[in-house]
Amino acid sequence: MKIIGIWGSPRKGGNSELLLNAFLEGAREAGAEVERIALRELKISPCLEIYHCFKDGTCPIKDDMLPLYDKLLAADVVALASPIFFYSLSAQAKAMIDRTQALWSRRYHLNQDFPGPERQGVLLCTGATQGKLLFVSARLVARYFFDAINVTYAAEILVRGVDQKGAILEKPEVLDQAKDLGRRLAQGEKFGPVKLSPLAV
């Protein structure tokens, strides 16, 4: 069982990192092969919209996204962790997602063989406020990201009211939930698909 955790916050030791770490700890303890990918340490250009990927499913931009394509295809579980920035995912997360247009192209434009959909995707999100609509955009983006890479949108943990670095430590029940989810996914349990109706949760 290969589980990758993609962490999209620029802030080290922040809430989404702590949430992802708990998730990955559970997965590791249950025997999964775990890899954490810190987008803040990578140089990933935004998509340049040149449609090279429509020719052969590859992206000609030579940057740190290249190894990620294979990792996204090889993973049994893809977890995406991000803070809410202006009611959406972080720019780091969104740039990475936009670059998976190359995989979308393989799947939908070139109709190539593609691993999936027994593979599973998880969204882990943290935001400061309590608004009902806080995760609407992030959930929609995650839905179409997971679709592009052909993993089932299996589960999500959406944490409101955490702003200061480490504030999530005051919600140990949420970290326990993340750890438990990681453990269960590593053991092969199937979840979802997450229903996006209603979008506001």
Ligand X SMILES: Cc1cc2nc3c(=O)[nH]c(=O)nc-3n(C[C@H](O)[C@H](O)[C@H](O)COP(=O)(O)O)c2cc1C
Q: Of these, 149, 162, 178, 181, which contacts ligand X (CB under 6 A)?
A: 162
Residue 86 is a binding residue for ligand X (CB under 6 A): yes
User: Closest by alpha carbon to 6, among 32, 33, 38?
Assistant: 38
- Asked if 46 and 92 count as a contact pair (C-beta separation under 8 A), the reply is no
Angstrom distance (rounded) from CA 105 to CA 52? 10
Task: State which residue has the least CB distance to ligand X.
Answer: 14
Is the peptide bond preceding residue 83 cis, with omega within 30 degrees of 0? Answer: no
Per-residue binding letters, 66-85, with ligand X (x by CB under 6 A)? -----------------xxx
The reply to whether 92 sits near ligand X by the rule CB under 6 A is no
Give me the least distance between CB of 126 and ligand X, in Å please. 4
CA dihedral 164→168→169→175, nearest 10 degrees, is -160
Q: How far is the CB of 135 from ligand X (least distance, A)?
A: 9
Shortest distance (Å) from residue 17 CB to ligand X: 6
d(CA 168, CA 19): 8
54 is a contact residue toward ligand X (CB under 6 A): no
**Comparison of 10 and 67: residue with beta carbon closer to ligand X:** 10
Smallest distance from the beta carbon of 47 to ligand X, in angstroms? Answer: 21
Number of residues that bind ligand X (CB under 6 A): 19
Residues 110-149 touching ligand X, rule: CB under 6 A, are: 126-129, 134
Closer CB to ligand X, residue 15 or residue 177? Answer: 15
Scanning 9-17, 47-55, 147-155, 187-195 for contacts with ligand X by CB under 6 A, the matching segment is: 9-17
The only residue of 4, 5, 6, 14 in contact with ligand X, by rule CB under 6 A: 14
Q: What gap in Å lies between CA 151 and CA 120, rounded to an integer?
A: 5
For binding to ligand X (CB under 6 A), which residues are involved? 9, 11, 14-17, 83-87, 126-129, 134, 162-163, 165
